[in-house]
Amino acid sequence: MKLHQRVISLLFASFLLAGMVFTGVSAEYRTDDKPDVQAVDAYLREQVTINRIPGMAFAMVKDGRVIFTGGYGNAAPGKPVTPQTQFYIGSVSKSITALAVMKLVDRGKIDLDEPVQTYIPWFTVADPEASKQITIRNLLNHTSGLAEKGDPNAAAYTASLEEQVRLMQYAKPLHKPGTTFEYYNQNYRILGYVVEVVSGQPYGEFLRENIFLPLGMKDTVTNPADAPELAQGYSRFFGFPLPQSQEYIPGGVPSGYMITTADDMSKFLIAQIDNRQPNGDPLLSPESLALMRTPPAGIESQYGMGWMDIDGGQTYAHGGAIHYFQAFEAINVKNRTGIMALYNQDSMENMMFENSSINTDLIGFMNGEKTVPANKAWAGWILLLLAAADMANHVRLFRMLPSWLAQTAKQPRAWLWVKVAMGILIPLVVIFGLPALMNALEGGAPNWIEPYRLMPDITIWLLTGMALNFIRSIWHVILLLRKP
């Protein structure tokens, strides 16, 4: 998720104060394995239902084999999710992009400490010196010095990776390369284009020939046109699923637009844990695999290369979210266990509450811990009650308009004009100024499109409330002008 979206979302989240009917469940598991896969299955059935998650697919692996796959809820109305249902995986794509780069490193075609300009001679950012210094390793570690705040095109997407990389000429570095961690999607888009240039193949074709087919990931693709079982995407409207059309952006594939299944990702997880492909060949050299899991020294960061070290060397994970899908992967290299969760819904509410809690609990299951199911659906109900109360108050204030002059007769006329002016200015500042302010502070697009995608309920509520305040204040102006 983009940084400016997170900032705006946190502002809107203050409205929270404290914080579908489902059909179709399919699961396959073995009762002789640990973790307790029956408990995991029961947990996910309950969570998908009580938290009104449209659909979810899940896989768990251990000791080199798949011990559990499950599908819950619906991929689309009347179509149950299965482990073969296809989902966008958001930033989990970065794990695959990092693997592609490291395969080329192992073949001697990429040197991690070579500047990007070695492979893309025309590559440039707004600082000529930084342009020469940013290395492949910096991109993989998110230590390029670039960040959304300095990128006027952070929210811009293109039809090709080359176009995406050419937009970097306008991005101003905020730090010296190699000194600071800043999670930044463009780092991995640049890497995707490096893979294209070095391999001489389109990015998706390289992945297919060197990762997907060797690992048996037959339903993993980089274009929705090749995904006949792609799930319907959903946002969330006051706690209830709202179907939406997911936009596909070719220039964003390496950082967030790959499509896969729970079945396919179980094979990816096994290969990552055991460093082997189904034919017995190693996935990577041991040195390269270790590098992917190792955050850079001397920098405050848990991020290696497409994986985050969340507990100091045992558990590695990565989350992903695009407009209407979420995903989460994790592996425990000590007990050789891994999990993959795929959701066909994304919103600020379930990102902060339901799915975040589920992902944490799934790590607990993976690590052999007992998990107590939690109901986080109250967040949507609280939001709905607050919005209803607010709209009821607006109705009350509009009904009072005919008597407004009488009720304010004793107030100084100058004070009434001040209040009316504020009632006009504040909505205008919020509606037109808040996105522009976030753009100036954190980068990204100065509009309401991204906030609406992430939280349509809060965005509509806020903009409707501001519009009603503006209309009522204009009415007050008319009443004051008519007053003798």
| Residue 443 in this model has a pLDDT that exceeds 80 | no
Between the two ends of the chain, the Cα-to-Cα distance in Å is 55
Q: How many of the other CB atoms lie within 10 Å of CB of 18?
A: 6
Q: How much is the average pLDDT of 107-122? A: 98
How many CA atoms, within 13 angstroms, populate the side-chain half-sphere of residue 126? 14
Q: State both tokens at 354.
A: 């339901």
284/312: higher pLDDT: 284
228 residue type, one letter:
P
Domains and CATH numbers, the chain: 3-104+197-366 (3.40.710.10), 378-482 (no CATH)
What is the pLDDT at residue 27? 56
- Using pLDDT thresholds of 50, 70 and 90, give the confidence band for residue 34: low
With 0-12 CB in 10 A as exposed, 13-18 as middle and 19+ as buried, what is 303?
A: buried
- The set of residues, in sequence order, having a beta carbon less than 8 Å from that of 482 and lying 6+ positions away, is none
What is the pLDDT at residue 442? 63
Asked if 225 contacts 187 with a C-beta cutoff of 8 angstroms, the reply is no
Distance of alpha carbon 81 from alpha carbon 24, whole angstroms: 7
Q: How much is the average pLDDT of 275-296? A: 97
Q: How much is the average pLDDT of 18-42? A: 59
The DSSP H or E segment spanning 319 is strand 315-322
pLDDT digits (tens, 9 = 90+) for 348-390: 776 666 677 888 899 998 988 776 666 666 777 888 899 999 9
Asked if 86 contacts 230 with a C-beta cutoff of 8 angstroms, the reply is yes
| Count of residues in the chain | 484
DSSP symbols for 47-87: HHHHTT-SEEEEEEEETTEEEEEEEEEEEETTEE--TT-BE
Q: How much is the average pLDDT of 289-313? A: 96
Q: Across the strands, what pairs with 80? A: 74
Phi, psi of 111 (to 5 degrees): -110, 120
pLDDT digits (tens, 9 = 90+) for 4-26: 444 344 333 333 333 333 334 55
What's the mean per-residue pLDDT of the chain?
89
Phi, psi of 434 (to 5 degrees): -65, -45
Question: What is the share, in percent, of the chain residues with pLDDT greater than 70?
Answer: 88
Angle between helices 185-199 and 93-106 (to 10 degrees): 40
Q: How much is the average pLDDT of 448-462? A: 85
350/449: higher pLDDT: 449
- Using pLDDT thresholds of 50, 70 and 90, give the confidence band for residue 439: low
Q: How much is the average pLDDT of 39-50? A: 92
Quote the distance between the C-alpha of residue 255 and its chain's center.
10
What is the pLDDT at residue 445? 65
Least confident window among 20-34, 102-116, 250-264: 20-34
